[in-house]
Chain A
Amino acid sequence: MISYILARVLQSLVVMLCVAAISFSLFTYVGDPIANLVGIQSSDEKREELRESLGLNDPAPVQFVRFVGRAVQLEFGISYQQKRKVASIIAERLPATLELSILSALIALGIGIPAGIFTALNRESWFSHLILSGSLVGVSLPTFLIGILLIFIFSVQFQLLPSFGRGEVVQLGFWSTGLLTASGLKALIMPAITLALFQMTLIMRLVRSEMLEVLRADYIKFARARGLSNRTVHFGYALMNTLVPVITITGLQLGSIIAFAIITETVFQWPGVGLMFIQAINEVDIPVMSTYLLLIASFFVIINLVVDLLYYFVDPRLRVGRGVRA
């Protein structure tokens, strides 16, 4: 038990270090950090002095260790463009992205999983066919197009929902939330749906195909042959087995919701980290870019870790060793 968890945690740390290395090289080797700190007129001696004092002349491994040490303390340097701490820029922006992503994930899971189960159990019903054909639209239309369509219908035609921004936000300590005001909630609807749609159809199709596969398994046939009720067979036996493989992929999908938020945030001018990243690219703001990279990677790694641990509790084949084979 402990060893399994420890092994997973160690693995995650290794992955994080690799990402940190990429982020570090971006930071160190792309562009000249000094050029962005000092004015054009400053002398070469001055630059060299600054270089020395910032430790930029140290060997790369030393710099890397320092970089990691600072990252652990959430020190990511100063934005070239805004001349503010990157950490505080992100702290300001992150709540918007997290609220959007979590709501989207809830929509994707809350509709995707039941719809997948329904379409697997009622393969021939017209409603399943309807859901399935509808889901084709979800996978085939690009996210930005769906966003623009929604804006066109609900903002331009009917003027029901705002087309950009977060609406009014309430500050709860460091966290700014849009969930407590009517305009904030209204502003959240369209971006959340846009972001959820693709993952929802994916999860639904995944659950459906996995469940169909499980329903064909021998132990399901044997359970039926023992006269167990459909409810026991479907929800006691088939569903659990369906969710085991679905958990992994769904976990990764949730990670990509946060990553994909870039597009949705751009379409709806949502003031989150995605939008911040796009701006940083335009302005070649390397510290912001590399921090964003680190942030997204750590989300993926954390989600992956949680998934692995979940796995451990769901699947006895991991939890209980073979033990005595009598």
Chain B
Amino acid sequence: MAKAPLLEVRNLRVEFPTRHGTLVAIDDLSLHIDPGEVLGVVGESGAGKSMTGAAIIGLLEPPGKIAGGEIVFDGQRIDNLPDADIRRIRGRHIGAIFQDPLTSLNPLHTVGRQITDTIVAHLPLTARQARTRALELLREVGIPAAAERIDHYPHQFSGGMRQRVVIALALCADPKLIIADEPTTALDVSIQAQIIVLLKRLCSQHGSAIMLITHDMGVISETADRVAVMYAGRIGEIGPVSDVIHSARLPYTIGLMGSIPSIGEEVERLVQIDGSMPRLNETPPGCRYHPRCPQAFDRCSVERPELIAVGSSRVACWLYDDSNQAQTPLPVRAAAKTNRDSPRINGTASAKPLIEAEGLKQYFDVSPPLLTRILERTGRRIVQAVDGLDISIVRGETFGLVGESGCGKSTVARTIVGLFDATAGTISYDGASLSTREERARNQSVQHKMQMIFQDPQASLNPRWRVSEIVAESIPRSRRAANGGVSARVGELLRQVGMSPLDGDKYPHEFSGGQRQRISIARALGGEPEFLVCDEPTSALDVSVQAQILNLMVDLQRSLGLTYLFISHDLAVVHHISTKVGVMYLGRIVEWSATHRLFTHPLHPYTRMLLDAVPDISKTGTQRTQVEGEVPSPIDPPSGCAFHPRCPFANDRCRTETPKSIMVEGTSIACHAVEEARLPSWKAA
């Protein structure tokens, strides 16, 4: 061993004493981080990732406590230090970054004050020197006009900028280790890319090591040197990033990697791990993964496997034990490849659209009260959430809509299903016009053929109703008597979404997030819809559960002949499920085409930027291209092409004239550069 590790965690055990006995959240966990190294810690929610990070800096939420093992930092044991001593290490030697930049900063103090407070707490500097250093830090993390911004309050910064401030705060005393817990999860793809690049650059300049905790395998694969995969409070596999991602050994890692959609690959179905992470009070004995493991054998349910060296990684699995002869591990990513540019159901080659919207506009008035407007001499403030959008979806296809937060995706969904009255434009379904409230009232039966699925199954299910009541509610009155009555139909619907009819007697809170999403799908299917609008249906779910839901949606599409409008900010998910993809920017679709074409021959500069920015497991170790700028506010969108402030190809025409959509080789594109044929070709895919 050349160098002593910077941080060494040995046999860490974290317990939560509760009224119903002690829960063990982290059980016998060991890992180490070398100086300057990036260790990724991945795992689904509840795996104990955050808790491991919190235990290291001594910030476990009470009543959680370290009940065993030791943590050695820079040769010194830190898990048993008195409060005052560990405080001196926090921030000075170990910095931390948390997930949500919007809530990480004290809203009542200027960012400058928060930075100087922290500097003065650790370094022997005067207030004036601290301020100079704070300014340097803000410049270093790329805050424009830092000298002026230092006296601003957090609410005056955008999310991405706030996360930069948070990084400046974490770096202010040049710590040797930074624990970054989901530092980019709350951010948009393009901002996420900027923050990751920044974090990596600064840490290598300052020589800091990073413990990067995230559930996002894409981020890990291009950032980390080594990866630890956590499951139910233990490390299942730990090793160099390329080994873990591309030749995983642990059955859980193999399943996990297969369940992540990738833009580098086209598969019909994702690898599916059934079930979900066990709760803390029902951790299975032996290998904690055995109830879900396709390769579990006798020994797995009785004896707990420890980490053993396999190749350059270490894996905790009995398959790799010398005494095991019976079983061999599965190969990675066994799924078959298919071409999915045609609709999943047959007989729909006709180009006649099922649903069509033209010139759709949805404005929201967010003006302050009249009195304030008069006194401050300001006009009305109108959010142009959707601003002249055209979309047409053919029966049987899945139209994926991607775009960064605030670009109007959810508004499009709600306007199309009639939850909002469109400000302008037309919507028609199968020839029937549904543009206004009157038209929708007249065409009730057509309206029923459209249903919607929301992101948060928790919030969209009434907690006081039984599942059967929730599902039954959606069955139209005229259909209640048919086919053996409501309860038979509810049972059938639950079976369709992979649940048992017996689950109908339970309440929503008795189910996991994935099961709740199944219930909301069952409810949507109750009205026998033809067209489902799915607004981020898997964003709140873990990847393994996301794979289950995505597979279910594909199966349902095939068996029921459904048409989907699928909305997501996750390009890989959209790539996986869609036959056609539209890219939205500030209220408009700037480009759409068949999925394969869009991902291999993107035309619009924004689409290209997104594809560059997206972290993906196929991009291990690759450098991303820096993406500049942030999404502007839809209250005062830029003139001409809304993308021009961020576009490297913008010219005067772009600044004044809004580009119209034209068709180029099957792609609909709104960009002057394409029209003028002055856009360089996309790097060979």
Residues of A whose CB lies within 8 Å of any CB of B are: 2-3, 6-7, 10, 217-219, 221-229, 232, 236-237, 240-241, 244, 314-317, 320, 322-326
Q: Assuming A227-B89, A236-B117, is B155 touching A326 (CB within 8 A)?
A: no
Given contacts A7-B371, A228-B117, A228-B118, 7 further A-B contacts (CB under 8 A): A2-B375, A7-B372, A227-B89, A314-B108, A320-B155, A324-B156, A326-B149
Q: Are A322 and B121 in contact (CB under 8 A)?
A: no
Output the nearest chain A residue to B155 by Cβ-Cβ distance. Answer: A317
Q: Are A221 and B98 in contact (CB under 8 A)?
A: yes
B87, B96, B108: the one within 8 Å of A222 (CB): B96
B226 within 8 A of A: no
Output the nearest chain B residue to A228 by Cβ-Cβ distance. Answer: B121
When distances are taken between beta carbons in the complex, the residues of chain B under 8 Å from A218 are: 98, 100, 103-104
Chain A, interface SS category: helix
- A39-B35 Cα distance, complex, nearest whole Å: 100
A6, A224, A317: the one within 8 Å of B107 (CB): A317
B581 within 8 A of A: no
Q: Are B633 and A223 in contact (CB under 8 A)?
A: no
Q: Assuming A320-B156, A323-B152, A326-B143, is B169 touching A226 (CB within 8 A)?
A: yes
When distances are taken between beta carbons in the complex, the residues of chain A under 8 Å from B169 are: 222, 226
- A226-B480 Cα distance, complex, nearest whole Å: 61
User: From residue B632, how far is it (CB to closest CB) to chain A in Å?
Assistant: 9
Counting residue pairs across A and B whose Cβ atoms lie within 8 Å, the total is: 107
User: Which of A10, A237, A316 has the most chain B CB atoms inside 10 A of its CB?
Assistant: A316
Ordered by A's residue number, 14 sampled pairs between the chains whose C-beta atoms are within 8 Å are A7-B372, A10-B371, A218-B98, A218-B104, A219-B106, A225-B59, A226-B118, A226-B169, A226-B172, A227-B88, A241-B106, A317-B107, A325-B156, A325-B161
A7, A227, A240: the one within 8 Å of B375 (CB): A7
B376 within 8 A of A: yes
B16 within 8 A of A: no
When distances are taken between beta carbons in the complex, the residues of chain B under 8 Å from A316 are: 107-108, 110, 153, 155
- A229-B161 Cα distance, complex, nearest whole Å: 26
B105 within 8 A of A: yes
Q: Are B108 and A241 in contact (CB under 8 A)?
A: yes
- A252-B89 Cα distance, complex, nearest whole Å: 44
Q: Which chain B residues (153-189) contact chain A, with CB distance < 8 Å?
A: 153, 155-158, 161, 166, 169-170, 172
When distances are taken between beta carbons in the complex, the residues of chain B under 8 Å from A223 are: 106
- A322-B158 Cα distance, complex, nearest whole Å: 9
- A316-B143 Cα distance, complex, nearest whole Å: 20
User: From residue A139, how far is it (CB to closest CB) to chain B in Å?
Assistant: 27
User: From residue A244, how far is it (CB to closest CB) to chain B in Å?
Assistant: 7
- A240-B91 Cα distance, complex, nearest whole Å: 23
Q: Assuming A222-B169, A227-B92, A325-B156, is B107 touching A241 (CB within 8 A)?
A: yes
- A161-B57 Cα distance, complex, nearest whole Å: 57
Output the nearest chain B residue to A6 by Cβ-Cβ distance. Answer: B375
When distances are taken between beta carbons in the complex, the residues of chain A under 8 Å from B118 are: 226-228
When distances are taken between beta carbons in the complex, the residues of chain A under 8 Å from B633 are: 325
When distances are taken between beta carbons in the complex, the residues of chain A under 8 Å from B621 are: none
- A229-B122 Cα distance, complex, nearest whole Å: 10
6 smallest CB-CB distances across A and B, nearest first, come from A227-B91, A3-B375, A225-B96, A227-B90, A226-B91, A218-B103
When distances are taken between beta carbons in the complex, the residues of chain A under 8 Å from B152 are: 320, 323
Output the nearest chain B residue to A244 by Cβ-Cβ distance. Answer: B108
When distances are taken between beta carbons in the complex, the residues of chain A under 8 Å from B375 are: 2-3, 6-7
When distances are taken between beta carbons in the complex, the residues of chain B under 8 Å from A240 are: 108
A225, A237, A324: the one within 8 Å of B57 (CB): A225
Q: Which chain B residues (345-398) contact chain A, with CB distance < 8 Å?
A: 369, 371-372, 375-376
Output the nearest chain B residue to A320 by Cβ-Cβ distance. Answer: B153
B144 within 8 A of A: yes
User: Which of A217, A226, A244 has the most chain B CB atoms inside 10 A of its CB?
Assistant: A226
When distances are taken between beta carbons in the complex, the residues of chain B under 8 Å from A229 are: 87, 121
User: From residue B367, how far is it (CB to closest CB) to chain A in Å?
Assistant: 14
B145 within 8 A of A: yes
- A10-B374 Cα distance, complex, nearest whole Å: 13
Q: Are A219 and B153 in contact (CB under 8 A)?
A: no
Q: Assuming A226-B169, A317-B153, is B121 touching A232 (CB within 8 A)?
A: yes
- A225-B110 Cα distance, complex, nearest whole Å: 19
User: From residue A120, how far is it (CB to closest CB) to chain B in Å?
Assistant: 14
Q: Which chain B residues (109-149) contact chain A, with CB distance < 8 Å?
A: 109-110, 117-118, 121-122, 143-145, 149
Instruction: Give a binary string over B42-75; 1 marks a CB under 8 Å from any A CB, 0 the rest.
Output: 0000000000000001010000000000000000
User: From residue A253, how far is it (CB to closest CB) to chain B in Å?
Assistant: 23
User: From residue A68, how far is it (CB to closest CB) to chain B in Å?
Assistant: 21
- A315-B153 Cα distance, complex, nearest whole Å: 10
Instruction: Give a binary string over B635-671; 1 marks a CB under 8 Å from any A CB, 0 the rest.
Output: 0000000000000000000000000000000000000
- A244-B108 Cα distance, complex, nearest whole Å: 10
- A323-B149 Cα distance, complex, nearest whole Å: 11
When distances are taken between beta carbons in the complex, the residues of chain B under 8 Å from A228 are: 91, 117-118, 121
- A6-B374 Cα distance, complex, nearest whole Å: 11
User: From residue A197, how far is it (CB to closest CB) to chain B in Å?
Assistant: 31
Q: Assuming A7-B372, A10-B371, A232-B121, is B156 touching A226 (CB within 8 A)?
A: no
When distances are taken between beta carbons in the complex, the residues of chain A under 8 Å from B40 are: none
Output the nearest chain A residue to B179 by Cβ-Cβ distance. Answer: A225
Output the nearest chain A residue to B378 by Cβ-Cβ distance. Answer: A3
When distances are taken between beta carbons in the complex, the residues of chain B under 8 Å from A244 are: 108
When distances are taken between beta carbons in the complex, the residues of chain A under 8 Å from B106 are: 219, 223, 237, 241
Q: Are A326 and B144 in contact (CB under 8 A)?
A: yes
Q: Assuming A225-B57, A236-B117, A325-B633, is B105 touching A219 (CB within 8 A)?
A: yes
A7, A222, A320: the one within 8 Å of B105 (CB): A222
Q: Assuming A218-B103, A227-B88, is B96 touching A322 (CB within 8 A)?
A: no
User: From residue A11, how far is it (CB to closest CB) to chain B in Å?
Assistant: 8
User: From residue B157, how far is it (CB to closest CB) to chain A in Å?
Assistant: 7
User: From residue A247, how far is it (CB to closest CB) to chain B in Å?
Assistant: 13
When distances are taken between beta carbons in the complex, the residues of chain A under 8 Å from B149 are: 326
- A6-B155 Cα distance, complex, nearest whole Å: 24
B95 within 8 A of A: yes
Q: Are B117 and A232 in contact (CB under 8 A)?
A: yes
- A10-B118 Cα distance, complex, nearest whole Å: 43
When distances are taken between beta carbons in the complex, the residues of chain B under 8 Å from A326 are: 143-145, 149, 157-158, 161
- A222-B633 Cα distance, complex, nearest whole Å: 28
Instruction: Give a binary string over B289-319; 1 marks a CB under 8 Å from any A CB, 0 the rest.
Output: 0000000000000000000000000000000
When distances are taken between beta carbons in the complex, the residues of chain B under 8 Å from A324 are: 156
- A225-B173 Cα distance, complex, nearest whole Å: 13
Q: Are A217 and B103 in contact (CB under 8 A)?
A: yes
Q: Assuming A218-B98, A326-B149, is B87 touching A227 (CB within 8 A)?
A: yes
A6, A7, A226, A320: the one within 8 Å of B90 (CB): A226
Instruction: Give a binary string over B565-592; 1 marks a CB under 8 Å from any A CB, 0 the rest.
Output: 0000000000000000000000000000
User: From residue B76, how far is it (CB to closest CB) to chain A in Å?
Assistant: 16
Q: Are B155 and A322 in contact (CB under 8 A)?
A: yes
Q: Are B103 and A219 in contact (CB under 8 A)?
A: yes
User: From residue A31, how far is it (CB to closest CB) to chain B in Å?
Assistant: 38
